[in-house]
Amino acid sequence: MSRHAIVPPLAVLLIALATILGAWGFQLIGGYVPCKLCLEERVPYYVGVPLALLTVIAVMARSPAWLVRTLLGLTALVFLYDLYLGGYHAGAEWGFWPGPTDCGQSAAGQATTTDELLKQLQNIHVVSCTTASWRFPAGWGLSFAGWNAAIALVLTAIAGWGAARKPA
Predicted model pTM: 0.82
**pLDDT class for 47, splitting at 50, 70, 90?**
very high
pLDDT at 88 over 50: yes
Among 24-38, 48-62, 83-97, 108-122, the least confident range: 108-122
As a whole number of angstroms, the distance between CA 152 and CA 160 comes to 12
Q: What is the pLDDT of residue 122?
A: 64
Statement: residue 106 has pLDDT above 50: no
**Residue 65's pLDDT band (boundaries 50, 70, 90)?**
very high
Nearest-Å Rg of the Cα atoms of the chain is 19
List, for residues 131-143, the tens digit of each pLDDT value: 877 777 877 788 8
Q: What is the pLDDT of residue 104?
A: 63
Please report, for residues 27, 37, 70, 107, 136, the alpha-carbon distance to residue 31 in angstroms, rounded to integers and kept in the order given.
5, 17, 39, 19, 17
Q: Say which range, 50-64, 81-95, 129-143, 153-167, has the weakest mean pLDDT.
A: 129-143
> What residue type is assigned to position 6 of the chain?
I
Q: Average of pLDDT values for 97-114?
A: 69
41 close to 86: Cβ distance less than 8 angstroms:
yes
| Three-state helix/strand/coil letters over the chain | CCHHHHHHHHHHHHHHHHHHHHHHHHHHCCCCCCCHHHHHHHHHHHHHHHHHHHHHHHHHCCCCHHHHHHHHHHHHHHHHHHHHHHHHHHHHHHCCCCCCCCCCCCCCCCCCCHHHHHHHHHHCCCCCCCCCCCEECCCCCEEHHHHHHHHHHHHHHHHHHHHHCCCC
The pLDDT tens digits of the residues spanning 12-26 come to 999 999 999 999 999
User: Could you state, in order of their start, the residue ranges of all structural domains in the chain?
Assistant: 3-100+130-164
Q: What is the mean pLDDT of the chain?
A: 88
Cα of 124 vs its chain's centroid, Å: 25
Asked if 33 and 133 count as a contact pair (C-beta separation under 8 A), the reply is yes
What is the predicted pLDDT for the residue at 57? 97
